[in-house]
Each structure stands twice: as structure tokens, then as C-alpha cells.
């Protein structure tokens, strides 16, 4: 049976306390309560011998550092005393630095640290009789975050949040830069802010570090605005393309297609799955390819052509915005720039060819989805009316194939627009920069790491569906003076 822990209520120390949820997880039956689990940084003996205010001053001074993560590195059993102590070992170079700085700060104030033992960082879990079996035989390694440092003086505990003195000014500087860009707050921007603050605290002695942090905030804000504008353009044109697509879909044609398919397969006979799926796909393709003969097909082609033109224009504007940001110029008039760039697309015949190619992909994509819907319905025993309803729901709903093609076409067009502008400006090298969000894959990371690329040798963007990588290069802004406010 575990014995009661010694009473240290009249002692004092500087300590780290784990997060409450982790403390609850570590607490063992018969051991120390979760709220008492801690890592001692320096034990100072009797509280009566140490001035409490001086102790708290030391902790306030030491708290001027970033929070850190240590590692719980297994169990140990300390022996040699009246009671054995079961402990979780704690490993971190940051903890070693904190221990060293703590001893120095205490020494400067004349506070002596008892020297009966060396220092092994640990978190005591339970006091045991010398012949008692431990309640745990293994502890999985896991991280433990320390975000505050505590001064414990008798029964009084004062917590000081860990925060480098440069952290708050750096965070404010980044926010100022982000606000100058006019960009939205995104997950990428939040992550970039934490990185910028970390850099600033590591280079706190650099007199220009806050100015550099403002620049980082402005850059990340500009990227956020760039990607937001892309997505707004895609959403806008998605609505129009889908509207024109739905205008082409006739329930009568769906009914005729289903009837022909059912007749061809013979609905009362056992169907070979392979033949069923092949015939369903063929029927779907035949119906959808016939859309090209309808009068409304030209309106769909125009809608997709306009989407591609908008993508290219946005890519051109993005290229100039990136160049302006690199040159330290703030105040691009995005709307004027986009209108000028879009106007330059009016006489580009290759946009019609692009639209035709993307329409072919759209029809093939929707046909594949429709074929699978028809085959699944037939295999599942849907009757004629239910099968017609399923096909109509797919074709007139928010088709994933239509959305995929519009997104892919506009993203491709944006990258082509940026590349065309860089080529026209005589750029020889360019960078690939990822969006820095959850959609970044290994290919994006490798493309970004390979920068700078000789123009023409860079991987073709987009690298994958929903890719948000973009091209970046330095160009003269002389030709775009009317875009810069």
C-alpha cells in the first residue's frame, strides 16, 4: 500500500506544473493528487528561511522566456530514503537552461540552494514503502507543455506565464504589417505570426528585428489577400458555369436515356456487373456529348471562357502584387489592376480553345459520375422513376465534376497568366511559393524548396487538384504605375 507523501507545506521552491489534463492522466491510485504534480526546478528548503517577495521576483524575471515542450521519458524509482519515490523522468534542454538561469538568479539575491542532492529533472508520482510494488511498470514517452513558472512559498503559489519580453512587441508588429496589406486573417497568417514571433525572440538584440517582423506580417497578409481573391473569383464564376450547365439539362432527355439503357440491358435478366457499368457509362457519355448540339451550349462555353479569362487576369495581377511587395511598395489597386488585365483578354482567341478543352473534361467527368450513379442504381434494384430521379439529382445538383473543372481551369489560367507576364517582362528566374495551409503536399513543398527555377524549367502549376502554389519573381513596376496607389 502506498504511504502518504511527506508534508512540504512549510517549504518553498520554484517549479513547473503540467497542464491539468495531463496531470489527471499521470496521477496514480494512492499517489500524489493531480493538482500537486510538478517538476521542481529548485527546492529551497524551509519557507521561513526564504523571503517570499524575493522568490516571486526571481520567478517574474525568469518568466521572460518562451513556453517550451519537454519530454516525459519513462519511469524511475528513487531509493535510499525512508520512502521510495516513483517518478516520471523529464527531459528538455530548455529545462536545463531554466535550471541554470534559476540558480544564477537566486545566487544574485543571496538565496542559497540546498546541496544534498544533484539535479535529475523529474515529476514525482507516488511515495512507496521500500518493499512495495510500483503501481506502474512503464510510462509511454510523451510531450509535456510548460507555459508558466511557479513560485511556491509555503502554501502560497504564484504562477507567472512564460513569455519572452520581445513576444508581445513582435506580435503587435506582425499585426501592423498584416493590417497594412488589407489581407484577411487565415490559418496561414496565424502560423506565420507564430513563426515570426519566434524569429523575433531569437534575434531580440537586432535593432531592426521589429521592422523585419512588420514586413513579414505585410507579406503574409498580402498572400492571404491573394488567395482570398482567387477563391472569390472562382466562387463567382462557379455560380455562372453551374447555372448554364443546369440550363442544358432536360428531364425528358434523362428519361429517354434511362429508358434506352434499361431496354438495352434487359431489366428482368441477371446483369453482368462489368457489362452493366460499361453500358451505363456509354449511355451517360452519349447523352452528355449530345449537349454540344443544343443552342444553350454556346452560353456554357462563354461562361467557362470568361472564368478562364478571369483566372488569367487574376494571375497577372498576383504577379504584379508579388513584385510590388518584394520591392516594398504598398497600395496596389487590385480592382483597377484586374479590370485592366481582364480587358487585355478580350481578343485572345486561345481562350476559346482552352474553354473547349475544359468543357470536354467537364463532360467526361460528369459522365463518369452519371455512369456510376446509373450502374449503382440498377445494381441496387431502383425502379425506372427512382433511377431517373437519381440521375436528375446528380446532373442538376452541385456537381463535383463541374466544380472540379472550374477550379482546375481557373487555377491553371492564373498560373499561366502570371507566367506570361513574367516572360513578357524578361524574367529569367522565378520562385514557387505554396499557400502554407492544410492543402500543401509533398510535391508543393519540394517545388518551393527547389526555388529559384530557371523560367521554363519550373514544374507546371497547379501540381494537383486544389493546389494553391503560385509563381513569384521580381519585375520592374514601371509598366504598371497606374496599378500602384
The pLDDT of residue 391: 95
User: pLDDT tens digits, residue range 315-331?
Assistant: 999 899 888 877 777 67
DSSP character string of 359-424: HHHHHHHHHHHHHHHHHHHHHTT--HHHHHHHHHHHHHS--HHHHHHHHHHHHHHHHHHHHHHHHH
Q: How high is the pLDDT of residue 435?
A: 65
Q: What is the pTM of this model?
A: 0.64
How many Å apart are CA 393 and CA 384, to the nearest integer? 14
DSSP, res 98: H
Give the pLDDT score at 220. Answer: 80
Q: What are phi and psi of 334, to 5 degrees?
A: -60, -40
453-464 pLDDT, tens digit per residue, is 999 999 999 888
Least confident of 213-222, 224-233, 370-379, 427-436: 213-222
> Is the pLDDT at 309 greater than 90, yes or no?
yes
266 has a pLDDT exceeding 50: yes
Is pLDDT at 5 greater than 80 in this prediction? no
**Lowest mean per-residue pLDDT among 165-169, 381-385, 457-461:** 165-169
pLDDT band at 485 (very low <50, low <70, confident <90, very high): low
Q: List 150's β-bridge partners, or say none.
A: 15, 159
Three-state SS at 31 = coil
Report helix, strand or coil for 474.
coil
What's CA 253's distance to the chain center, in Å?
44
* Stretch 45-74: mean pLDDT: 92
pLDDT at 93: 93
DSSP line for 197-251: HHHHHHTTT-TTHHHHHHHHHHHHHHHHHHHHHHHHHHHHHHHHHHHHHHHH--H
Mean pLDDT of the region 403-429: 93
Q: How many CB atoms lie within 10 A of CB 410?
A: 28
pLDDT exceeds cutoff 80 at 301? yes
Percent of the chain's residues with pLDDT above 70:
96
Which architecture does CATH list for 11-161?
Answer: Alpha-Beta Complex (3.90)
pLDDT at 1: 46
Task: Give the lowest-confidence range in 343-347, 382-386, 472-476.
Answer: 343-347
pLDDT at residue 270, as a whole number: 59
* Residue ranges covered by each domain of the chain: 11-161, 167-221, 223-418
Q: Decide if pLDDT at 379 tops 60.
A: yes
pLDDT of amino acid 268: 47
Is residue 412 over pLDDT 80?
yes
List CB contacts of 198: < 8 A, sequence separation 6 or more.
Answer: 66
**Mean pLDDT of all residues belonging to the chain:** 88
Q: Give tens-digit pLDDT for 130-159.
A: 989 999 889 999 999 999 999 999 999 999
Could you read off the pLDDT of 182-219 as tens digits, one per residue? 777 877 788 888 888 888 888 888 888 888 788 778 77
- The angle formed by the CA atoms of residues 365, 366 and 371, to the nearest 5 degrees, is 100
Which of residues 227 and 364 earns the better pLDDT score? 364
- Give pLDDT, residue 219: 73
**What is the predicted pLDDT for the residue at 230?**
86
Among residues 72, 78, 76, 82, the alpha carbon closest in space to that of 26 is found at 72
Amino acid at each position: 500500500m502506498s504511504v502518504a507523501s511527506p508534508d512540504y507545506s512549510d517549504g518553498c521552491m520554484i517549479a513547473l506544473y503540467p497542464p491539468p489534463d495531463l496531470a489527471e492522466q499521470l496521477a496514480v491510485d494512492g499517489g500524489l493528487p493531480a493538482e500537486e504534480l510538478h517538476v521542481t526546478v529548485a527546492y529551497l528548503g524551509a519557507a521561513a528561511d526564504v523571503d517570499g517577495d524575493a522568490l516571486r521576483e526571481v520567478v517574474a524575471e525568469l518568466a521572460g522566456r518562451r513556453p517550451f515542450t519537454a519530454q516525459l521519458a519513462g519511469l524511475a524509482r528513487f531509493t535510499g530514503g525512508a520512502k521510495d519515490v516513483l517518478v516520471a523522468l523529464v527531459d528538455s534542454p530548455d529545462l536545463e537552461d531554466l535550471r541554470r538561469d534559476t540558480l544564477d538568479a537566486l545566487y544574485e539575491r543571496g538565496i542559497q540552494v540546498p546541496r544534498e542532492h544533484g539535479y535529475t529533472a523529474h515529476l514525482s508520482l507516488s511515495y512507496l514503502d521500500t518493499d512495495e510494488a510500483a503501481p506502474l511498470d512503464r510510462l509511454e514517452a510523451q510531450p509535456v507543455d510548460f507555459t508558466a513558472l511557479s513560485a511556491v512559498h509555503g502554501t502560497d503559489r504564484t504562477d507567472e506565464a512564460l513569455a519572452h519580453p520581445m513576444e508581445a512587441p513582435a506580435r503587435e508588429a506582425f499585426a501592423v504589417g498584416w493590417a497594412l496589406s488589407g489581407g484577411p486573417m487565415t490559418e496561414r497568417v496565424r502560423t506565420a505570426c507564430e513563426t515570426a514571433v519566434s524569429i523575433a525572440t531569437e534575434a531580440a538584440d537586432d535593432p531592426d528585428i521589429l521592422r523585419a517582423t512588420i514586413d513579414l506580417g505585410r507579406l503574409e497578409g498580402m498572400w492571404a489577400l491573394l488567395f482570398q481573391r482567387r477563391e472569390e473569383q472562382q466562387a463567382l464564376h462557379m455560380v455562372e458555369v453551374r447555372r448554364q450547365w443546369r440550363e442544358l439539362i432536360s428531364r425528358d432527355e434523362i428519361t429517354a436515356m434511362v429508358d434506352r439503357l434499361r431496354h438495352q440491358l434487359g431489366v428482368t435478366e441477371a446483369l453482368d456487373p462489368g457489362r452493366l457499368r460499361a453500358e451505363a457509362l456509354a449511355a451517360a457519355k452519349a447523352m452528355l456529348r449530345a449537349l454540344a448540339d443544343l443552342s444553350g451550349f454556346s452560353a456554357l462555353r462563354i461562361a467557362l471562357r470568361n472564368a478562364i479569362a478571369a483566372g488569367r487576369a487574376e494571375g497577372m495581377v498576383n504577379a504584379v502584387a508579388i513584385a510590388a511587395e518584394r520591392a516594398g511598395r504598398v497600395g496596389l489597386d487590385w480592382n483597377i489592376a484586374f479590370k485592366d488585365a481582364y480587358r487585355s483578354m478580350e481578343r485572345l482567341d486561345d481562350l476559346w480553345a482552352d474553354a473547349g478543352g475544359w468543357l470536354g473534361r467537364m463532360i467526361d467527368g460528369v459522365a463518369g459520375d452519371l455512369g456510376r450513379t446509373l450502374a449503382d442504381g440498377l445494381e441496387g434494384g431502383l425502379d425506372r422513376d427512382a433511377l431517373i430521379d437519381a440521375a436528375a439529382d446528380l446532373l442538376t445538383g452541385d456537381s463535383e465534376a463541374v466544380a472540379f473543372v472550374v477550379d482546375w481551369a481557373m487555377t491553371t489560367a492564373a498560373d499561366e497568366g502570371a507566367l506570361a507576364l513574367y516572360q513578357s517582362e524578361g524574367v529569367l528566374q522565378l520562385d514557387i511559393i505554396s499557400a502554407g495551409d492544410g492543402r500543401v503536399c509533398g510535391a508543393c513543398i519540394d517545388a518551393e524548396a527547389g526555388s529559384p527555377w530557371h523560367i521554363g524549367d519550373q514544374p507546371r502549376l497547379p501540381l494537383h487538384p486544389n493546389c494553391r502554389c503560385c509563381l513569384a519573381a521580381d519585375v520592374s513596376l514601371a509598366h504598371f504605375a497606374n496599378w500602384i496607389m
